[in-house]
Amino acid sequence: MQNFNNETPKKIYGEIKEHKDGIFTRFFKNIFTGCLTCGCITLIVLVSLISLAVWLFSGDSGIVNCRNILSHDQESEFTEEYVTGLRAASERIAVIPVKGIILRDENASFNTCAVSGNIIKQLQQALEDESVKAVIMDLDTPGGEVTASDEIWKKILDVRKKKPVVAMMNTLCASGGYYIAAGCSPIVANKYTLTGSIGVIISTWNYKGLFDKIGLKPEVYTSGKMKDMLNGARERTAEETILVQTLVNNAYEGFVNIVAAARNIPAEKVKNTIIGDGRIFDGKQAFALKLVDKLGYFEDAVKTAAEAAKLKEYQVFRYENKFDFGRFCTILTGKTAGFSLALPGAETMENGVRLKKGVLYYLPAGY
C-alpha cells in the first residue's frame, strides 16, 4: 500500500505550489473578515471615490459634461415608466406627476415636494418630444408657493399651444394645485377629490405676549420702518397690516383672473361667492360649480387626452427622476440648504416640509 505522507504528492503529481489569493480577493477578504473598523473606513472611502468620479463626469454639475456628446434621447434627465396602452405605439401620452407641496427650492426632496423647476423640465421634454402627442398633469397637492405655482401654470400654457394638456385631480388638488389645473383643459376630478381653496395666505408668529411673560425683549435695527414688518416680537402697526394685506390681495386678484378666464366665470362671481372665499370643495361640488369638466378616474383622463389628441393606438408613460449622483455628492460634502429653526405648528408640514415665514402661498389655511 502506498504510504501517503506529506512528501508523497510531490512525488506522484509533481511539485504542488502554494495557493495565493489575487489582489482583489485579498482586498475584499480584508474588508469583510479583517478589522471591522478598517473595513468600514475602506468601504466609505471607496464609495465616496466612485461617487465623486461619477459626479465629475456626469450631468451639468460635473466638471466634465458628458451630455455634450450624447444623443438627444440620452440627454434626458428623466426615465420613462410604462403605465398603460400599447407598448409598441409610436404615439404617446406623457404623465407628469405633481405630488406634494409646490416649491421652487431645488434642494427639496422630489419624493415629498413638487419642485417647479423639475416639473417645468418635464413639460419642456414633453413639448420637444415629437412622439408625445398629449400630456396629463397628475395632481395630488395642497398647493404651495405663489411663484412656483405660477411658473408651472405658464409652462402648461406654452405646451398647450402645440399639444393638449389634461388635468387629473386625485386625492387633493387645492389652492396652488387648482391654479395649475386651471392652465389645463379639460379638468378631470374624482368625485371625492378635495379641491378649490382659491385664495392666498401669508403667515407669521406673534409671540410678544410670551416674551412679555419671560422678560425677553428684542433689539432690532433696520434701515427703514417696514424692514421688520413681520417681526413676531411686537404687534403689527396699521400701516404694516395694510401693506401685507395689499400683497395678499394682489396675488389673489391674479388667481381670480386666471380662474375666471379658464372656467369662463365672471371674476366678480368668483370673488363674491363661495367659489373664491378659500373653502374646499369635493369633486361633485366642484363639478356643479363648473370648476371641473368631468368626474372620473385616471383611465378617464387617459381617454380624454387620447380623444383631444385624436389618438387610436398609443402608449402612456410617466416621467420619473433619475438617481442624481450630483445631489448625492452634495449631501456627502454637506452642501445642503441652511438649517432653520422654527416654532412648531403651521410652519411645519406633517411630511417634514418646512414652509417659510413671510412667503405668499396658495395653500389651505391648515397648512
Question: What residues are labeled active site?
Answer: 175, 227
**One-letter amino acid for residue 68 of the chain:** N
* Residues 130 and 157: beta-carbon distance below 8 Å: no
Phi-psi region of 100 (alpha: psi -120 to 50; beta: other; left: phi over 0): left
Chain centroid to Cα 335, Å, comes to 19
**One-letter amino acid for residue 323 of the chain:** F
With b for 16 or more beta-carbon neighbours within 10 A and e for fewer, the 84-93 pattern comes to: ebeeeeebbb
**CA–CA gap between residue 350 and residue 360 (Å, rounded):** 20
Within 10 angstroms of residue 123's Cβ, the number of other Cβ atoms is 22
* Residues 125 and 95: beta-carbon distance below 8 Å: no
∠ CA 183-185-190, nearest 5°, is 100
Count of alpha carbons within 13 angstroms of residue 131, beta-carbon side: 14
- The beta strand positions in 124-164, using DSSP E, are 132-141, 144-145
∠ CA 310-149-67, nearest 5°, is 70
